[in-house]
Amino acid sequence: MYFKIVPIEDTKYTNMGMIEVMAEFYLEPNDIGYDDYIAEHLHNLPIEPYPNFVVEGNIYYIKDKDDYDDWFSKVKKKEVLTPFCIHSIQFEYDVTEDEILYCFEWALAMSHQNYLKKDLICQKGGQLVNQPFDYIGRKERGATDDVKNNTRNKVGNLKKIDFTKLDKSKLYKVK
C-alpha cells in the first residue's frame, strides 16, 4: 500500500485558518484485496478527450452514444490505475510535514481495512472519522487576518514540497 499527496491548494478551509490536504490511496500486488482492486480500478482510458461533448453550463454530456462508441473503439488508450480511496484531512496552519505524513499513514491503514470490508465513505454515503471541530463557528467567524496570512503562507510553502523527498519520508508509505 502507498499514498500520494495531491497538490495542495487554497480551499474553503483557508479562511478558517486551516489547510486541507488530500491523498490518494493505492494497493500493491502483495496487499490483501489487490486482485479485487485491480479489477475495479485499472481502466483503459483514452489519451485524448472526446471531441463531441455537448456542454450546458458546467455539465458535459454525450449527445450521440453511437458516435462516442465509434470514437472510443478507435482512439488510443492507456491503462490508468485509479486510487481505491481519496482521503482529505484538515490541519491547523502550523502543521508540520511529518505530521501530515503520519496522519495519512494512519488513514491509509484504516481505509485499507474499510476497503476490505467494502465500507469506504464513497460506498456508504459519508461518515465522520475526523475529530470534530467547530466548523460552523469557524466558518462564521473566519480567522484573524494574521491567521489567514499564516495559513496562506503555509499553503504556499506546502505547494512546493515533494513529500516523497522529505527526510522522514522513508518512514511512511508515501510515493
Q: How confident is the model at residue 31 (pLDDT cuts 50, 70, 90)?
A: very high
Question: At residue 163, does pLDDT exceed 70?
Answer: yes
pTM of the model: 0.79
Distance CA 163, CA 5 (A): 7
User: In the predicted model, what is the mean pLDDT of the chain?
Assistant: 88
Distance CA 113, CA 123 (A): 14
Distance CA 104, CA 89 (A): 8
CB 51 within 8 A of CB 120: no
The predicted model gives 48-62 an average pLDDT of 87
Distance CA 63, CA 117 (A): 38
Residue matched to cell numbers 505530521: 99
pLDDT value, residue 139: 72
Domain boundaries, the chain: 2-27+84-171, 45-80
pLDDT value, residue 123: 46
SS3 110: helix
- Cβ atoms < 10 Å from Cβ of 115: 22
Q: pLDDT digit string (tens) for 132-145?
A: 566 667 777 778 88
Question: At residue 159, does pLDDT exceed 70?
Answer: yes
Distance CA 85, CA 104 (A): 12
Q: pLDDT digit string (tens) for 108-130?
A: 998 999 899 887 654 444 444 55
Q: pLDDT digit string (tens) for 66-106?
A: 999 999 999 999 999 999 999 999 999 999 999 999 999 99
CB 112 within 8 A of CB 39: no
